[in-house]
Amino acid sequence: MHGRRIAWPQTFAAMGQVGRKGQHALTAEHLRFVREAPRGGVLHCFVLDCSGSMLAGQRLSLAKGLLIALFDRASAMRAEAALVCFGGAGADLRFGPAVPRWWNERWLGPVGGGGGTPFASGVRRATQLLERSARRKPAQQRWLWILTDGRTTDEATRPLNADEVVFVDFERGTVRLGRCERLAQAWGARRFTPEELIG
């Protein structure tokens, strides 16, 4: 805890909640701390599934809308961002890594969908990007976001240079494979639905 700044309003609020139980003195359990960005900066690498299955039920459109919000958030935090798209026969880097100053809907609009789901290619391309960033900025915190419905049989291993991994699960319908949930568990990653992030 050395060097961390105390967030006093949240600490006093915690004291008030505990104080109702009869404790009024400040204790370690009351302390809340200011969340500070890593000194080496942050990189958010987004991997977007553009396969044919993502076209069903407007999943790809929803993913694009969520991406715009996430890129806006990265820009406000002056964090770097990158976008890898996979679908059809392979994967390619569409943006970054860079601070997204001019990110808007017109830029993302041309990203289309269709074909197979080369999940392993998308992860491989992201792994290469994260490795380069780790060499360039060792102190940087690196987040990997995977936006997919999990409709693939590809196997892939968790990138070593991803400090945090988040699966955004776009699977819908009555018959579900649950692949995103299983991958998140295997990778020690977080898993959210788009609605949980938008709400």
Domains of the chain: 1-36 (no CATH), 42-198 (3.40.50.410)
Whole-number pLDDT of residue 1: 43
Collapsed DSSP state (helix, strand, coil) of residue 180: helix
The pTM for the full model equals 0.77
Whole-number pLDDT of residue 84: 94
What are the tens digits of pLDDT across the range 4-53?
666 666 666 666 654 444 455 667 776 766 555 556 789 999 999 998 88
What are the tens digits of pLDDT across the range 133-148?
999 999 999 999 999 9
Tokens of 42: 């942050």
